[in-house]
Amino acid sequence: MLLIVGMIMLVMTGCNNEEATPVQNEEKVLDVKTAVAERFNYDPVLQFSGTIKANREANLGSALPGRVEKCYYPVNSEVHNGDLLVSLSGELLHQAEAENNAIDKDYQRVARLKEKGSVTEQQYDHVSAQLEASNAKTTMMRSFSEIRAPFNGTIVDYIVNEGEVYAIAPGLKPGYSYTSGVVRLMQLDTVKICIEVSQADFRHVKMGQMATVTMEALGDTSINAVVTNIIPYFSTMTRTATVELSIPNPDRLIFPGMYAQVEINMPAVSGIFVPQESLFNLSGTGQEYVFAVQKNKVKRIPVERVFGVEDKVAVNGVAAGTQVLRTGIRKVYDGSSVNVIR
């Protein structure tokens, strides 16, 4: 019995010793690479793409349909404000002129009789009013049979040619004016480029701001442009606003329809930059963070993205000189131990 009791006590003593021995769970230290948050001065640039358009354009026509009698200038001609570009058939004009001649003769006879006292003032006023109305009608019909340039520009196309009948219908060419007309006139000594600006960038664009424009058609040559018009509403489809920039074009090297890249230079700013790879987004939120390394321990710091430059991002929330993780950001948590390697 004593032997059995002794064996039982020996087993229990051994178990107690095992329970008293702590289990050593060592934390795995992750090898990481870091970068230093640095302050830089930077000239931000907003980049857009757009299409070149004429500074002014118009499809010129008449208020009445008719046959095109003569086109006075060939395509690509430079014309001036008031120049006669096209004559239309003048049947209605001839009729108005004949009526005007007859009424003018009546008026002359009545005016002579009035001087002699042979007609009343009422009869004279009646004929005078008829002449005035006939003169206005003749002037109107003359304007309907002539198409004149409303501004200095270049004739770029005839929608209706000589001998064809002009009807009041849109001259459909996608991307250009859809109004009815016989001849298309554009002002090309200055052209403009229209860009679509998002809500985030809209507050940075101002009237008179300078920009640089590049086009494949000009090779490596870049030209200057200036913001001349900001359309004060946003599209409900794209949530963008249209901004127009004017470009001098005295040598006619730029033509409507060309595709162009636009860079708008912003005022110089100073910012704290960290590598793009140092930023991570907490799942389910829009908050971004970096991990700062302090004495081989990491601390999660919330940051606000300001703007990006190539592979670096300017952020708020981190001081210059802070050492931040570049690798392993998905494998650590707040307070993790790390081993910084080169």
Q: Which CATH class is domain 30-44+269-340?
A: mainly beta
Q: What is the band of 308 on the pLDDT scale with cuts at 50, 70, 90?
A: confident
Of the candidates 187, 178, 143, the one whose C-alpha atom is nearest the C-alpha of residue 159 is 178
Rg (CA), the chain: 41
Delimiting residues of CATH 2.40.420.20 domain(s) in the chain: 30-44+269-340
- CA 47 centroid distance within chain: 11
pLDDT greater at residue 323 or residue 138: 323
Q: What is the band of 10 on the pLDDT scale with cuts at 50, 70, 90?
A: low
**pLDDT at 42 > cutoff 90:** no
Q: How far apart are CA 294 and CA 292, in angstroms?
A: 6
- CA 230 centroid distance within chain: 9
pLDDT at 3: 61
Q: What is the pLDDT of residues 256-289, one digit of tens each?
A: 989 999 998 877 778 899 999 999 887 777 789 9
Query: What CATH number should be reported for the domain whose range is 90-144?
Result: 1.10.287
Mean pLDDT, the chain, integer: 84
Query: What CATH number should be reported for the domain whose range is 50-55+188-265?
Result: 2.40.30.170
Q: What is the pLDDT of residues 192-231, one digit of tens each?
A: 999 999 888 888 899 999 999 999 888 888 899 999 999 9
Delimiting residues of CATH 1.10.287 domain(s) in the chain: 90-144
Q: How far apart are CA 319 and CA 301, in angstroms?
A: 11
* pTM, to two decimals: 0.61
Q: What is the pLDDT of residues 101-121, one digit of tens each?
A: 888 888 888 888 888 888 888
Delimiting residues of CATH 2.40.30.170 domain(s) in the chain: 50-55+188-265
Q: At what angle do helices 121-144 and 91-116 cross, to 10 degrees?
A: 160
**pLDDT at 13 > cutoff 60:** no
